[in-house]
Amino acid sequence: MISQTDLAAMLCSRLCHDMLSPVGALANGLELLADEQDPEMRARCMELLEQSARISADKLKFFRLAFGAAGGFGEAIPIDEAKAVINALAADNKRVEIHWAIPEPSLPKPAVKVLLNLAQIALDSLVRGGTLDIGAERREGAVEIVARARGDRIAFDETIGRALQGDLAPAEITSRTAAAHMIAVLAEEFEGGLQYKLGDGALVLGAVLPMPEGMIG
């Protein structure tokens, strides 16, 4: 079993890797802006700075809910918050269409963490675009979650699938698979489970999370 310290370090590495590009673009844009005198080029630099700042903020909002404690929300997180961060991550990819099917106004924090991580894994698999369907509902004392990606090409490393099912050896857990491992551990803590199915132009990721009565609402 990987230690909590090592898992935290790998999640931090994942965060740093994902933030490096937009933050680096901010730094480069500021350098260009300091030296540029042409009004048209300065306006273009400002556009790039605004874009990089927005991407950085969107990623940090995702990491806060998907990996962090998500302070300020209590035991449940409004679904609108989860929708906003996933829609923002997909905003620059015009080839991906997202459909939501979540009737609940809010879900327990653990369920939202699982939902966001499954949604991002599914989103990342749509390298040539497609549709992403995300659903969740409370049923018989549990929260059931599904994220389905459909597209011309699905790029999915089945090592991540094994991580979701808790089948990786500690040495196989890296910054790339740490998030999947984290939600597998989270599901196990609630005596639930994760699963995936890949085939026929689709990737389906699912979770069942039994929740204490006080959390299920």
> For residue range 98-150, what is the model confidence (pLDDT) as tens digits?
999 999 999 999 999 999 999 999 999 999 999 999 999 999 899 999 999 99
**What span, in angstroms and rounded, lies between the C-alpha atoms of 131 and 129?**
7
In 51-201 the beta strands, taken as DSSP E runs, fall at 76-78, 96-101, 106-108, 130-139, 142-150, 193-199
Give the structural domain span for 124. 4-216
Distance CA 139, CA 196 (A): 20
Give the three-state DSSP class for 206: strand
pLDDT above 90: residue 155: yes
* More confident call, 207 vs 70: 207
Domains contained in the chain, number: 1
CATH code, domain carrying 124: 3.30.565.10
Would you state the pLDDT for residue 3? Answer: 86
